[in-house]
């Protein structure tokens, strides 16, 4: 794995992950009672040296890494060494991030005041500093074998535990070739992405030689986060939006969508795909069915 | 349909809906070029008398109604008669809402300052006034026939045009019995919900005798919006979260999830379902397969 920058020491962190699912009672179409698991959803307010930044709605399994990844992907804090402590308190529904400066990131209050609040099935906030720094990102041109895509999709199938137990979550994975380094599920695909960013930041993992997989759609905000994480190849089980595509074109991100079974569609940087495992053409398959 | 309040006159509105999909080129798993439709995604900043409220990421098909519904569901403006004009300008990516007061809702700036920015696959913002007014909502206990649920699911199938053409959108519908009054798709399910709220506000339609259908998940924020719209019955093709369930229990919302074909699960107010169309039990079906 490529490393990004030296970490002097890890921040002091709580380990306050919640159980992802809860058992509840429902009634089915036969009128019969059923015991089922549903996904948790918890508000979590991120504060940096007492200054309130955002409230996320999260599954709550990795709140410390989620907070770190959020601050990282929004480019609100540049260096992990600036962070002294990450303290989650579910009674207050708050994660307190304390910096080594003690009195907060000098211009954080100014950045918060200038934020644009975004919505939709979106991430909630874009800080102007997030956008300013986006085009500083240089992503390398990385090739990927079709056989690697298939091997990765095959591996992913065994991962999405919470989705299979309870539904209502999205899964995201950081991959190196067909190996899955981290897999995170959350009620918001943005949170799952940010949690992986937090893990990468803490463990000093670079994104340039990685692949980012998500069950969710490739909208502009997900492409933006992946670029901030330095990952040049995105694979999604779902579709894409036009703004996501335009951003991928600007930043040089390879966009592989509708990836499921043998099928996929490459929407940008299609020349980075090395077609070494082309399925039997449909016409031949149809012929073999006839025989 | 039940009516909510008298509308003196409709606001002056632009009619600036965009085409929902765009034609782009991709390459499939055979390495073959494909022409495909993908969903649009556009930033749209809502301003009220020049004061910036939020930036939504939207498909852009009904921007005027989306803006109105957003303001309504956030309880930022109480009366449609306070709105003089809704003017969308895509070059500036802005929808300007002008009030009859001329200088804006008196305490709007204060409300904006007090907002909580939420995130996740969430709605982006909750204003404290939104929450303050939530528990003022009194929803009636309304019964629904199982046969109505099935008839409605059957009708819905023919509606989701954009999803079938391009994917990457959620659909929401306002229904009266099994009739669909409005069907809206958007890249964010919150936007589709708000657009329906805008339509209801403009046309003076109450929600107490309606059913709200969505392809998306029933999270806390969707339950909250439905309650603000006065709709007591929610049907979703997807799952629910625990916080969505708790809110539905507090507000008396009937939650019907995983509704697809003959299957559904009722998570709250199960005694409002009138089981008049129970499918053949599985054991008998299995028996008939044997015969």
Q: Which residues lie across from A23 on neighbouring strands?
A: A37
Predicted confidence band of residue A291 (pLDDT cuts 50, 70, 90) = very low
Q: Where are the beta strands (DSSP E) in A187-277?
A: 211-214, 233-236, 254-260, 263-268, 273-274
CATH of domain A12-136: 3.10.20.10
Assess whether pLDDT exceeds 80 at residue B118. Answer: no
CATH 3.40.140.10 in chain B is located at 144-274
pLDDT (mean) for B190-197: 95
* Closest by Cβ to B119, choosing from A36, A40, A123: A123
Q: Does A127 touch chain B (CB under 8 A)?
A: no
Categorize the per-residue pLDDT at A52 as very low, low, confident or very high, splitting at 50, 70 and 90. confident
Could you tell me which residues come within 8 angstroms of residue A291 by beta carbon, excluding any fewer than 6 positions away? none
What confidence score (pLDDT) does residue A204 get?
A: 95
CB contact under 8 A, B57 and A166: no
pLDDT of residue A51: 86
Residue B282 is predicted with a pLDDT of 60
Residue owning tokens 């070494």: A276
A37 touches chain B (CB under 8 A): no
Q: How far apart are CA B186 and CA B182, in angstroms?
A: 13
Distance CA B188, CA B78 (A): 24
Residue B128's pLDDT band, with cuts at 50, 70 and 90, is: low
**Cβ atoms B197, B212 nearer than 8 A:** no
The answer to whether B203 and B191 have CB atoms below 8 angstroms apart is no
Sheet holding B254-260, edge to edge: A33-39, A21-28, B263-268, B254-260, B233-236, B211-214, B170-176, B179-186
Greater pLDDT, B201 or B115: B201
Interface of A with B in 42-81 (CB under 8 A): 42-43, 45, 54-58, 70
Q: Which residue has the higher pLDDT, B238 or B109?
A: B238
How many other β-carbons are positioned within 10 Å of the β-carbon of residue B82? Answer: 15
Substitution target in A93, A119, A258 with the highest count of B β-carbons within 10 Å is A119
**Contacts B125 to A, Cβ<8 Å:** 117, 119, 124
Instruction: Determine the distance in angstroms separating the CA of B97 from the nearest CA of chain A, rounded to an integer.
Output: 17
Residue A160: pLDDT over 90: no
pLDDT of residue B289: 37
Residue A8 distance to chain B (closest CA, Å):
31
Per the CB < 8 Å rule, is A120 touching B191?
yes
Q: What is the pLDDT of residue B290?
A: 33
Q: Residue A187 in contact with residue A273, Cβ under 8 Å?
A: no
Check A123 against B123: CB less than 8 A apart: no
What is the structure's pLDDT at A22? Answer: 94
Task: Locate CATH 3.10.20.10 in chain A.
Answer: 12-136
Is A219 an 8 Å CB contact of chain B?
A: yes
Which CATH code is given to the segment(s) B144-274?
3.40.140.10
For residue A142, give the DSSP letter. -
Q: What pLDDT does residue B25 have?
A: 96
Among the ranges given (A18-22, B51-55, B273-277), the one the predictor scored with the smallest mean pLDDT: B51-55
Residue of A251 and A113 predicted with greater confidence: A251
Residues in chain B: 291
Answer with the residue of higher pLDDT: B114 or A39: A39
Using CA atoms, how far apart are residues A64 and A46, in angstroms rounded to an integer? 10
CB B113 within 8 A of CB B62: no
Exposure of B15 by Cβ count < 10 A (0-12 exposed, 13-18 middle, 19+ buried)? exposed
CB contact under 8 A, A278 and B187: no
The answer, yes or no, to whether residue B119 has pLDDT greater than 80, is no
Are A55 and B116 an interchain contact pair (Cβ–Cβ within 8 Å)? Answer: yes
- pLDDT band (50, 70, 90) for residue A288: very low
């Amino acid at each position: 794995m490529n490393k990004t920058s030296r970490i002097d020491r890890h921040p002091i962190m709580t380990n306050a992950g919640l159980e992802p699912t809860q058992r509840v009672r429902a009634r089915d179409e036969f009128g019969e009672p059923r015991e089922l698991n549903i996904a948790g959803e918890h508000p979590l307010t991120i504060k940096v040296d007492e200054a309130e930044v955002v409230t996320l709605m999260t599954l709550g399994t990795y709140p410390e890494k989620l907070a770190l990844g959020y601050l990282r992907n929004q480019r609100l804090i540049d260096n992990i060494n600036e962070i002294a402590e990450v303290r989650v308190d579910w009674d207050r529904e708050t994660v307190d991030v304390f910096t080594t400066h003690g009195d907060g990131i000098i211009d954080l209050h100014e950045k918060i005041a200038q934020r644009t609040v975004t919505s939709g099935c979106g991430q909630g906030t874009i800080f102007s500093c997030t956008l300013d720094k986006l085009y500083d990102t240089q992503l390398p041109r990385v090739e990927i074998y079709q056989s690697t895509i298939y091997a990765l999709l095959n591996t992913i199938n065994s991962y999405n535990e919470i989705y299979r137990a309870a539904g209502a979550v999205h899964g995201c994975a950081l991959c190196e070739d067909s190996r899955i380094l981290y897999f995170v599920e959350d009620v918001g695909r943005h949170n799952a992405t940010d949690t992986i960013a937090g893990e990468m930041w803490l463990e000093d993992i670079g994104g340039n030689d990685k692949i980012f997989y998500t069950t969710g759609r490739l909208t502009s905000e997900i492409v933006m986060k992946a670029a901030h994480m330095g990952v040049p190849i995105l694979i999604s089980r779902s579709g894409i939006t036009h703004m996501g595509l335009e951003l991928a074109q600007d930043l040089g991100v390879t966009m592989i969508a509708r990836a499921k079974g043998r099928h996929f569609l490459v929407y940008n940087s299609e020349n980075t795909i090395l077609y070494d495992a082309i399925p039997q053409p449909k016409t031949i398959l149809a012929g073999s069915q006839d025989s």
